[in-house]
Chain A
Amino acid sequence: MYKLKVVDASKIFRRDGQEVVALQATTMQIPAGRFVSIIGPSGCGKSTLFNMIAGLIKPTTGKILLDGQNIVGKSGYVGYMLQKDLLLPWRTILDNVILGLEIKGVSKREARKKAQPLLERYGLQGFENNYPPELSGGMRQRAALLRTLLYDQDVILLDEPFGALDAQTRLQMQGWLLRIWEDFQKTILFITHDIDEAIYLSDDIYVLSHRPGKLKAKIHVELERPRGEETLLSDNFISLKQKLLDLLREEPKDNGTT
């Protein structure tokens, strides 16, 4: 039984009378508890795919099934961290993190009580009462991710959460994310531009083609967990990287009809 199924979902926008295909019909089947990365060139429809799964936009064709139930156009069923951290600048970190609970109707006091230990465990202790602009990029991403996590849905979508971080912080955050994933047993869909990041984190990698995006390949990552620095240097890792590089390098114009 798959946790999340994307069945032939596509999205077409009309702009100035012209049809723009943001994503061609895409099918994905994702088992519970997997870490899945989605990789592809800029503008190939990755965010569009997430927006559809999150119910913020309706697909032009196709279905999205969560536990077998159609969730097309219904928001609030999956946790979604958008491409920016989007913390509310007038709220403290703690109050930002509890936003989803508040919307669910949990009282502020109770929500804070629930969030506090999480902040302490995952590296935000001492920052609870700071405002977002006072935090570093990495810390803000942590807060945004904990907000998504506290919303407590089985499936979590992360749209390039570490894209704006420097390499050092990025590595740190990857380790941090893996720890959270192991602790909470969530199903994670993760968009990234970074091949190393995708391999290091994922069980499966979906590769999308150039615009208009189309599913090009699904690659299973056979690397033992827990993964550490030595994983990044293993032969297996290098050969996977080579494969992905080849896939991504292929000419956009060649329609790949084989």
Chain B
Amino acid sequence: MVQPEKKRYIEDEKKRQQRMKRIVFGGQFGLGILVIVLWEVLTRYEVMDPYYWSSPSTIYETAKVAFLEGTLWDDLVYTSLATLAGFALGTVFGSFIGLSFWWSAYYSRISEPYLIAFNAIPKLALGPVIVILFGIGFFSKVMLAFLMTVIVTALAAHSGIKAIDKDLEKLLYSLGAKRRHVFTKVVVPTTMPWIVSSLRINIALALAGTIVGEFISSRQGIGRMILYAGQILDIDLVWVGVVVLSLLSMLMYAGTVSLEKLLLRGQEPKQ
């Protein structure tokens, strides 16, 4: 007996994933809106004390004033630049340190325990020393952000070095390669996913370093603004600082994700 063909069911992975993506995105967006609305409503009816919790609308108004009449824009630029500079320096320098371990097994083994020890130091505790060493200006913030990121990257690159396939090295030597060929054609590409996997952590660490530097002593920056607002009990302005920092952090995170894609071109980040 032949069944009449009614509805054909075809497995369509792509369509299913697109559908899932839409729902997830909608859900995420909706949840964010819900939190903001709840916050607004609860503070307006004083279920939550608006003095401490401020409210989205007040934060918005305060931010507008701070942007237009205050120095919020300059502070934002200052903090962003210090973070990005520290992040870039830390990542590049850390990669160099990590990759350099490939060149000599002795050098690598002798320095490894020191690298790990240095990683264990809470670098933020060094903040006052850094400020005394490098002054209260822009450079001390960059240095703190740098210190936060450099060892993480070096260790990540070092793990990459350890994972290099010896046979790939052998293959290159059999093709008449010199050490520099092996370095550029095998070592760097193998290590790249490891370095890249440290980027996301690093951008957050760099921002934390910069903010702490600004807390300790600074004339500019979002960190300084938050500290100052706290001292004069302008809690609305503290909230503005926190929200702006969160947005900045999210933006930078998105930036690193695109940087990852660019650097990896198809490979997966490694942990």
Which bracket fits the contact residues of B?
Answer: 10 to 19
A-B contact count (CB 8 A): 50
Pair A54/B185 contact, Cβ less than 8 Å? no
What is the CB-to-nearest-CB distance from B41 to chain A, in angstroms, rounded to a whole number?
52
Query: What is the distance, in angstroms, from B222's C-beta to the closest C-beta of chain A?
Result: 39
**Residue ID in chain B nearest A144 by CB atoms:** B171
Whether B170 and A90, one on each chain, are in contact in the complex, defined by CB atoms closer than 8 angstroms, is no
A238 within 8 A of B: no
From known contacts A88-B189, A90-B267, A131-B266, infer whether A104 and B167 are also in contact, taking CB-CB under 8 Å.
no
Contact with B along A52-73 (1 / 0, CB 8 A): 0011100000000000000000
Contact with B along A85-107 (1 / 0, CB 8 A): 01011100000000110111000
Pair A88/B175 contact, Cβ less than 8 Å: no
Q: Do B171 and A90 touch (CB < 8 A)?
A: no
Whole-angstrom CA separation of A75 from B179 in the bound complex: 13
- The one of A82, A84, A131 in contact with B174, judged by C-beta atoms closer than 8 angstroms, is A82
Q: Does A123 contact B (CB under 8 A)?
A: no
Report whether A56 and B170 are in contact in the complex, using a CB–CB cutoff of 8 Å: yes
Instruction: List the B side residues contacting A35 at CB < 8 Å.
Output: none
| Chain A positions within 8 Å of B170 at CB level | 56, 82
A-chain residues with CB within 8 Å of residue B266 when the two chains form the complex: 90, 131
Say what secondary structure dominates the interface of chain B. Answer: helix
Q: Does B176 contact A (CB under 8 A)?
A: yes
User: Which of B165, B174, B265, B267 contacts A80 (CB under 8 A)?
Assistant: B174
Which residue of chain B is the closest to A131 with respect to CB atoms?
B266
Q: Which residues of B contact A100 (CB under 8 A)?
A: 175-176
Q: CB of B181 within 8 A of chain A?
A: yes
Return the contact of A88 from the options B174, B176, B186, B265 (Cβ within 8 A).
B186
Given A90-B266, A103-B181, A84:B167 Cβ within 8 A: yes
What is the chain A residue whose CB lies nearest that of B177?
A: A103
User: B266 to chain A: closest CB distance in Å?
Assistant: 7
**Cβ–Cβ contact B176 & A76, under 8 A:** yes
The interface residues of chain A lying within 8 Å CB-to-CB of B168 are 86, 88
Asked if B81 lies at the interface with its beta carbon under 8 angstroms from chain A, I say no
Q: Residue among B168, B175, B177, B267 with the most chain A CB within 10 A? A: B175
B175 contacts A103, CB within 8 Å?
A: yes
* B189 pairs with A90, CB closer than 8 A: yes
Name the interface residues of B16-35: CB closer than 8 Å to any CB of A: none
Most chain A CB neighbours (cut-off 10 Å) among B174, B175, B185 = B174
A151 at the interface (CB under 8 A from B): yes
Interface SS majority for chain A: loop
- Give chain B residues whose Cβ lies under 8 Å from the Cβ of A99: 172, 175, 185
Residue pair A88, B185 in contact (C-beta under 8 Å): yes
Contact between A75 and B167, CB atoms less than 8 A apart: no
Interface centre among B165, B167, B177 (most CB of A within 10 A): B177
Partner pick for B171 among A82, A89, A102, A131, CB 8 A cutoff: A82
> Which residues of chain A are near B181, meaning CB under 8 Å?
103
A41 vs B8: C-alpha distance when bound (angstroms): 55
| B173 contacts partner chain A, Cβ-Cβ < 8 Å | yes
Are B175 and A56 within 8 A (Cβ)? no
Taking the nearest CB of chain B, how far is it from the CB of A130, in angstroms? 11
Which of B165, B173, B266: most chain A Cβ within 10 A? B173
Residue of B with least CB distance to A91 = B189
User: Which listed residue, B165, B176, B186, touches A75 by the CB 8 Å rule?
Assistant: B176
CA gap between A125 and B172 in the complex, in Å: 25
Contact A103 B174 (CB under 8 A): no
Chain B residues with CB below 8 A from A103, complex form = 172, 175-177, 181, 185
In whole angstroms, how far apart are the Cα atoms of A207 and B72 in the complex? 81
Are B167 and A86 within 8 A (Cβ)?
A: yes
User: For residue A84, which residues in chain B have a CB less than 8 angstroms away from its CB?
Assistant: 167
29 intermolecular pairs with C-beta atoms under 8 Å apart: A56-B170, A56-B173, A56-B174, A75-B173, A76-B175, A76-B176, A76-B177, A82-B167, A82-B171, A84-B167, A86-B165, A86-B168, A86-B171, A88-B168, A88-B185, A88-B186, A88-B189, A90-B266, A90-B267, A99-B172, A99-B175, A99-B185, A100-B175, A102-B185, A103-B177, A103-B185, A104-B176, A131-B266, A151-B175
Interface residues of B (CB under 8 A from A): 165, 167-168, 170-177, 181, 185-186, 189, 192, 265-267
- Chain A contacts to B: CB under 8 angstroms: 54-56, 75-77, 80, 82, 84, 86, 88-90, 99-100, 102-104, 131, 151
Not counting A86-B168, A99-B172, A131-B266, a sample of 18 additional A-B residue pairs whose C-beta atoms are within 8 angstroms of each other reads: A54-B174, A56-B174, A75-B173, A75-B176, A76-B175, A76-B176, A80-B171, A82-B167, A88-B185, A88-B186, A88-B189, A90-B189, A99-B175, A102-B185, A103-B172, A103-B177, A103-B181, A104-B176
